[in-house]
Amino acid sequence: MASNAMGATGGTAPQSVENITRIAQNYEYNSSVPLRYWLRTAATLLREARIYEREGHDEQAYLILFRHAQLILVHLSKHPDTKKNEDDRKALVAAEKEVEKNLSKLEILRPRINKRYERYTQLMRERESRKQPSRAKVVAEPREQVQDPALSGVAEPLEAGENRDLAVQLAQSELNRRATVRDSKGLSGPSAEELETRRAAGVWGDWDQSIKSDPRASDLDLSRRVQNIRSNFDHTTQHYGQRAGEFEVPSSATSAYKYPTVPRQKPLEHTASPGQIAILDKNAQRHAPPILPAKEHLGPSRASIISNSAKDVAPARPAKVSPAPALPAKLQPSEETSATRSDLDPSSYTFKPSAYLENGTPLRSVFLPANLRSRFLSLAAPNTRANLETCGILCGTLVSNALFISKLVIPEQTATSDTCETVNESALFDYCDSEDLMTLGWIHTHPSQTCFMSSRDLHTHCGYQVMLPESIAIVCAPSKNPDWGVFRLTDPPGLKTVLNCNQTGLFHPHAEENIYTGALRPGHVFEVSGLEFQTVDLRPDPFKN
């Protein structure tokens, strides 16, 4: 959902706030998806918005903050689970408080975005007026667009497949910077001992006093809060598209399937400095699917292009007949790459979408550490020998409009030969929150089965992909050939088919055949060497390898 209709590519014409709000509301809402998943989606949206703000992308940040507010106030406030689960109700109240705080951000971003858009349109009118009347209107090239100071700061668009080395360097530099900031603010997260003591604490322990115990009083309080915040939201958006309360998306029939739980993320406080990035409308992408790159073609490293500055060397002493001066000495590879690594700025680059959903929606690139699978399989080895599945959570972050997997989290779990379920999820939630991590997918073993997505796997992954379209499922079948694969649900028809499926059996058929597809190239996932990641095992000691 977070990246739906947001194909930021850099160099594209600035957008108006009116167009951004229209794109922000172009997503599918399904009330049959449990509220806890939608709240997890809302928290992920806030994390992305903070990163886009910090990297200087005003338009993308505005789009996501607007979408977050519209999701909470228009849809989730009416979700049927608000009347069934007290924890969900408390989480919704917290999400509404975030909306209330973010309304001021929208007010700050809006005039900046409009100023840049108006300046752009003015420049285009002046440019056209200087042309001959008979000539057709031509859109300015990206270099022309950014020559004016009012339009400067647009990030350089990069092809993910041709700039893998640069991607790794950008990610490592930014992750190290963020870790330093967290440590300096005392936000390094709980220790292993603290995580152990929190296993039975419950997810919403700090919110016990936020809502009265009387359900009727809670309903009244929730209704008043929604009305108050919505009135402010309506005032913010009344000049740009329809009012918030007028947007209703038909929901599908309620599904009886009980989805496995995945990490819920609580919003974390974070400040960011805004800027700008361009946004492509989802509908504009449908007619232009990407050209498939040559198989595993690795273009020249962008890092070496940035840092390649030759050292001046004095010419050789002339002989009686003066020869040509000697060629400058070449830099060693280590000098080329290390010279700029610490100076890389994520706001200077944006990775273009590398693939598209079947409906035309662009997908941001996901970078997967090449040695993550081997590490996971070593942790899963005892279970694999016992013919038991093992699962892990793929966590990471957003850098320069691409997603990087930086943590492999092994949650406490129960398993059979064909299933794996997480338990004591509060420790997993605490860890993801403390590290400000996004959940980018999951990985699990098939000890005796082949490499495929079972019916249970499809339902599990549906919960991830509803929250983040780029989410991936990695299946490891060490005794089979092929022994691994990276998958996602098709959309359409896979995502809706699984969402509306009422069957709960371990292996059951679906009406559609092309339910899922591979996500490695030519998909949106790139396996890269040199991308560092950490492994966090939250299982009790007897189960650790």
Whether the pLDDT of residue 491 is over 90: the answer is yes
DSSP conformation class of 157: E
| CA nearest to 154, candidates 425, 400, 354 | 400
Question: pLDDT tens-digit profile of 410-420?
Answer: 999 999 999 99
Higher model confidence: residue 10 or residue 70? 70
CA dihedral angle for residue 300, residue 303, residue 306, residue 310, rounded to 10 degrees:
-80
Higher model confidence: residue 429 or residue 330? 429
455 near 66, Cβ under 8 Å?
A: no
Classify domain 353-543 at the CATH superfamily level: Cytidine Deaminase, domain 2 (3.40.140.10)
Q: Return the pLDDT at 363.
A: 97
pLDDT grade for 187, boundaries at 50, 70 and 90: low
Intra-chain end-to-end CA distance of the chain, in Å: 36
Higher model confidence: residue 147 or residue 174? 174
What is the SS3 string spanning 474-510?
A: EEECCCCCCCEEEEEECCCCHHHHHHCCCCCCCCCCC
Sketch the domain layout of the chain as residue ranges: 17-129+144-195+214-267, 353-543
Question: pLDDT tens-digit profile of 266-291?
Answer: 433 333 333 333 333 433 343 344 44
Task: Give the Cα separation of 474 and 30 in Å (integer).
Answer: 26
Higher model confidence: residue 124 or residue 229? 124
CA dihedral angle for residue 266, residue 271, residue 276, residue 279, rounded to 10 degrees:
0
Q: Return the pLDDT at 65.
A: 97
* Alpha helix positions (H), 4-57: 17-24, 35-54
Question: pLDDT tens-digit profile of 514-530?
Answer: 999 999 989 999 999 99
Range 358-382 average pLDDT? 97
Range 311-319 contact pairs with CB under 8 angstroms and sequence separation of 24 or more:
none
Dump the DSSP string for 376-420. Answer: HHHHHHHHHHTT---EEEEEEEEETTEEEEEEEEE--EEE-SS-E
CA dihedral angle for residue 197, residue 199, residue 203, residue 206, rounded to 10 degrees:
-20
What value, to the nearest 5°, has the Cα angle with vertex 531 and ends 479 and 6? 100
136 CB burial (10 A radius; 0-12, 13-18, 19+): exposed
Range 444-468 average pLDDT? 94
pLDDT grade for 315, boundaries at 50, 70 and 90: very low
Q: Return the pLDDT at 246.
A: 41
Measured in residues, the chain has a length of 545
Q: Return the pLDDT at 154.
A: 62
pTM for this one? 0.70
